[in-house]
Amino acid sequence: MSVALRAAEAAFHERRRRRQASALLGGAVLLACTLAAARMAEFHPDTLLAGLPRIGEYFLRIAPDLRWASLLSDSETEGSLAFWFYRLDRWSLLLLETAQMAALATLLGAAAVLPLSFVAARNLGAPPPARFLARRFLEAGRTVPEIVFALILIWAFGVGALPGILAIALHTAGALGRLFADAIENVPMRPWEGVRASGGTWAEACRYAVLPAAAPDLLSHAILRFEVNIRSASVIGFVGAGGIGEELYQVISFNHYEEVSAIVLLIILAVVACDLLSERLRRRVIGA
């Protein structure tokens, strides 16, 4: 074996040894951080094991008492599907309200943040102070949870759907702004350079060069965000911001167990339907 080959093999083994040492050190640091986080959060395995059976007990409580003999009977007969969903008309309207809240909030958030995302993108040459402020604004929007925005807006506007819509729209603006800016940064820059070289303004280059190239990704992100907002609109109803979540909070508070399972099942079915519909729409928009 030549001297050069032995030197290359020794260098290879040395690099592998360093990588293994780095991986071992990183694993030890990660384990220490995990244990420290568990201790600070009072995460005790014995408490977890003691509480798991109670979760199963609660699911047994909310399970409907369906009986095969009366499964298809009317809403006055115990053990029937109609008896389980005896308030289906009201719950359906609340689910529709929840979907409308999510759709309007997504539209408002996306429309409001689209111009700002061009400023936040690093490849379009916006002034650094403007880009810095735009990115910090987007970070603030997506950092604060929707439920916190909802609590503040309920104090300002009162109980109802309006605070919920505005709360989801604010969080949506922060989340979509980052995704929109990333999509804009990934577009090819030759069309932009062509518009600018022919005398087009910065806004015209954004409109005619960048937006058409980024539009499929922007629409895809907005539709995916609508799916997320369906779930968010269900949750913020717990604080009085309208929708099916408010009804779910009430039946949980009064221990109406079978109504809890009925509403949860309706929410799951609504989310699945919205996911399937938005998936088809997304594929149609991007031409997949």
**CA separation for the pair 140, 170 (Å, rounded):** 10
Whether the model pTM is above 0.85: no
219 and 280 together in one domain: yes
For residue 172, the model assigns a pLDDT of 93
Alpha carbon of residue 223 to chain centroid: 11
162 and 52 together in one domain: no
224 and 134 together in one domain: yes
**CA separation for the pair 187, 209 (Å, rounded):** 9
For residue 81, the model assigns a pLDDT of 80
55 and 183 together in one domain: no
123 and 11 together in one domain: no
Tokens (6 digits) for 104: 């309007």
Last residue of a domain, one of 45, 60, 75: 60
161 and 231 together in one domain: yes
Distances from the Cα of 234 to the Cα of 55, 65, 214, 222, 230, angstroms: 21, 25, 31, 19, 6
CATH code where residue 146 lies: 1.10.3720.10
41 and 100 together in one domain: no
Distances from the Cα of 256 to the Cα of 81, 84, 253, 278, angstroms: 16, 11, 8, 33
Boundaries of domain holding 261: 87-286
51 and 127 together in one domain: no
118 and 260 together in one domain: yes
For residue 208, the model assigns a pLDDT of 86
Last residue of a domain, one of 60, 76, 107: 60
Q: To the nearest 5 percent, what fractions of the chain are helix, strand and coil?
A: 80, 0, 20
Residue 27 within a domain: yes
56 and 92 together in one domain: no
**CA separation for the pair 98, 245 (Å, rounded):** 8
**8 A C-beta contact, residue 251 and residue 182:** no
26 and 161 together in one domain: no
Residue 221 within a domain: yes
Q: Is 49 exposed, middle or buried (0-12, 13-18, 19+ CB in 10 A)?
A: exposed
For residue 106, the model assigns a pLDDT of 92
How many domains is the chain partitioned into structurally?
2
Residue 250 within a domain: yes
Q: Each residue of 152-163: b (16+ CB within 10 Å) or e?
A: ebbeeeeeebbb
156 and 47 together in one domain: no
Q: Which among 176, 173, 171 is positioned nearest to 233, based on CA atoms?
A: 171
- In eight-state DSSP terms, residue 186 is T
Residue 35 within a domain: yes
For residue 170, the model assigns a pLDDT of 92
**CA separation for the pair 87, 98 (Å, rounded):** 17
**Residues in the chain, pLDDT under 70:** 1-3, 282, 285-288
